[in-house]
Amino acid sequence: MIQVGVVGYGTIGKRVADAVVAQRDMEIVGVAKTSPNFEAEAAVSKGFDLYAAIEERRELFDEAGIPVAGDLDDLVSTADVIVDATPSGIGAQNREVYEAHDTPAIYQGGEDADVADTSFNARANFEDAVGADHVRVVSCNTTGLSRLLAPLREEYGVEKSRVTLVRRGGDPGQTGRGPIDDILPDPVSLPSHHGPDVKTIFPDIDIDTLGLKVPATLMHMHSVNVTLESDADAEEVRELLAEESRLFLIPEYAGIDGAGKLKQFALDAGRSRGDIWENCIWGESIAVRGNDLYLFQAIHQESDVVPENVDAIRAITDSASKAESIATTNETLGMGLGRTFER
């Protein structure tokens, strides 16, 4: 069993911990938090050993009556691998702790790419992370774009990608985020950071990205235009993408016209927290004009990187092949929303 420690038990960390528990080849040895909040209480109630991420703040846990098993050094020394799910910039600060214990670590997309030996997307470049010491799982949007572009590159070749990202203002629990009643170019200058981030997965790809931020919390939306290098038609592309295990092609008859109904569908399907690990692509939006492909996809920013973190654990520990890991992760998490509509 791979012994996994999770540093940062917030939006991503708590989901990764639950996903690790579902695996047959790994287990959680502890999670680290900086403050004794409701998520710390939830971690203890689930039976996870809780560690104080900042030694000087350990007394806050004592005052709150929340038991801790030790500090960050204790957790890192116990784990075979660390998943660092801390806010942007903190993972880079934590790296020296992981190195001091010779413990490999997985970081999130909020960190700069140079924090790690390689950026990671299971579908696109699993092998690059095998046996690495430091791996960065790319952001939710880059994960979604990498999953989409990988099969297109393999089947048709990609001459140019242009993506407009309509981004949620904040996650449901981020009460300090916005905008509240506005639509913001984010950033105003081009490109947004997403294109350069995709190039950490596909260094040779030609991609331009633009970003908008809107007063919503549910999901991101992508308007995608890809100029293909060879001929394709819309139905062929639908069939190609439908074969991808982490792409969900929404059938027209489902009546799912936006992020709200997607979340409702996920909850009705029994998904914990209403999580949607897959890209959600509207099948009828797929169109081809000449060599230009167009489509809309929605990305659940709180959860689509979770299966990627699980696969990164196997890659960094060299404990399974790409195909084996993806298949196991998909099975244990119950991925495949599209199966609901299969006859």
Please give the annotated binding residues, written as ranges: 11-12, 110, 139-141, 168, 194-195, 301
Count how many residues are written for the chain: 343
* Residues in binding site for NAD(+): 11-12, 110, 168, 301
Confirm if 48 and 31 have CB atoms less than 8 A apart. yes
Q: In 3-state terms, what secondary structure has residue 233?
A: coil
Bridge partners of residue 221, in order along the sequence: 166, 298
Find the catalytic residue in 20, 50, 106, 140: 140
Q: Of 287, 220, 278, 226, which is closest to residue 249 (Cα–Cα)?
A: 278
Six-digit token string for 34: 């900086």
Q: Of 186, 200, 196, which is closest to residue 115 (Cα–Cα)?
A: 200
Query: What's the rounded Cα separation, in Å, for the pair 133 and 103?
Result: 8
- The DSSP result for 167-211, as a single string, is EESS-TT-TT---SS--EESSSSSS-THHHHHTTTSTT--EEEEE
How far is Cα of residue 265 from the mean position of the Cα atoms in its chain? 20
Q: Widest CA span of the chain, in angstroms?
A: 66
Query: What's the rounded Cα separation, in Å, for the pair 291 and 148?
Result: 17
Assign residue 168 a region (left: φ > 0; alpha: ψ between -120 and 50; beta: otherwise). Answer: beta
**DSSP label at 20?**
H
Query: What's the rounded Cα separation, in Å, for the pair 86 and 219?
Result: 21
Query: What's the rounded Cα separation, in Å, for the pair 339 and 336?
Result: 6
Q: Which residues contact 96 (CB under 8 A, 6 or more apart)?
A: none
Please confirm, yes or no, whether 280 is among the known catalytic residues: no
Q: Which residues form the catalytic set? A: 140
